[in-house]
Amino acid sequence: MSEGAAPHVLLVVAPYYTEIVEDLCRGAVAALEEQGATWERIDVAGAFEIPGAIALALDAGTRGGRRFDGYLGLGCVIRGETSHYDLICNEVARALQTMAVERLVPVGFGLLTTENGAQARVRASPEGKDKGREAVRACLGMIALKRRFAAGAS
């Protein structure tokens, strides 16, 4: 992690698939704590609400509320029988990417998008693919990069 204060990250969690998402959170929290980062967690109803919750937190920060150095969206969407899966996955990814680029905020994408529960469990598990940790690495890396550019380093 770069110099300066420990990064403070907001975890926005959609616990629809509770066991899977808690595994994602375990990996994410372990990675944050290993890097000396602090964090807060809020839960939202589902994956679709993750970008909105981050936007609300950003808005509160610009009005003097709690500021976060980065944001982490954690959740899981498993393909079902309808096109709902595609709509949710695409719109959440698009909204988070747009927010990261247009509002210049570090966002870690920890939304699993899988065909079935078995795939999700392997990807979420800290003993498996540990995608929660991976999302933290991306978020902390972007926080460090933002700090580097803010300090005028090339």
Residues with catalytic roles = 84
Question: In the numeric block, which tokens belong to residue 62?
Answer: 């610009």
Cα gap 15→42, rounded to integer Å = 10
Instruction: Find out whether 47 and 92 touch, Cβ atoms under 8 Å.
Output: yes
Neighbours of 16 (CB within 10 A): 15
Cα gap 139→122, rounded to integer Å = 21
Q: H or E segment at 54?
A: helix 50-62
Cα gap 52→60, rounded to integer Å = 12
